Amino acid sequence: MLTSKCMKGVTQGYPLGIQAREVKVTESEFNIDFVSRVIPKLDYDTLWTAADGLGYSTDLPKTLVENYESNEDFLKKIHHVLLEIEVLEGDLICPETGRKFPITSGIPNMLLNEDEVKY
């Protein structure tokens, strides 16, 4: 979901690579409506790669399942990957410049230095 588009010389800045040092899995309420509404907005391949990088891709199919609105099992998996896995410590890496955005206690730091801002 995040991009580094604000940075100088970065045109797309997506997807950001994830380097996790500490991952926490939390429980959260499953909302079928929300998950099925959010899927069209996601780039599924990116999500899969991200989940794969964290080691949670085992039960996730590699391509988007057809008729996912009615497939509750699949939606539950997506929900788990999207909302319940939290990277506590790690880095987000810009694919174009290699700039690292550190994540501390679950909050990515996207602050840029003055010279990195593109106006």
Partner 1 sequence: MSSGKRPEHLAPPEIFYNDTEARKYTSNSRMIDIQVQMTERAVELLCLPDDQPSLLLDLGCGSGLSGSVLEENGHVWVGMDISQAMLDVAVEREVEGDLLLSDLGQGVPFRAGMFDGAVSVSALQWLCNCDQKSHNPVKRLSKFFTLLYTSLSRCARAVFQFYPESPHQVELVTTQATKAGFYGGLIIDYPNSTKAKKYFLVLMTGQNMALPKALGTENQDDSTVKYGNSRMTYKQMRGKPLKKSRDWIIEKKERRKRQGKEVRENSKFTGRRRCGKF
Which residues of this chain interact with partner 1, rule CB under 8 A?
Answer: 1-6, 13-14, 28, 31, 33-34, 37-38, 41, 43, 83, 105-112, 114, 117, 119
Rama region for 67: left / alpha / beta (φ>0; ψ in -120 to 50; rest): left
The set of residues, in sequence order, having a beta carbon less than 8 Å from that of 53 and lying 6+ positions away, is 17, 18, 20
Nearer of residues 11 and 58 to partner 1, judged by Cβ? 11
Nearer of residues 55 and 117 to partner 1, judged by Cβ? 117
CB of 63 to partner 1, least distance (A): 20
CB of 57 to partner 1, least distance (A): 21
Nearer of residues 28 and 70 to partner 1, judged by Cβ? 28
CB of 19 to partner 1, least distance (A): 17
The Cα 40–Cα 53 span in angstroms is 22
Output the six-digit token pair for 21.
Answer: 């040092």
Bond into 15 cis (ω within 30): yes
119 DSSP 8-state letter:
-
CB of 67 to partner 1, least distance (A): 19
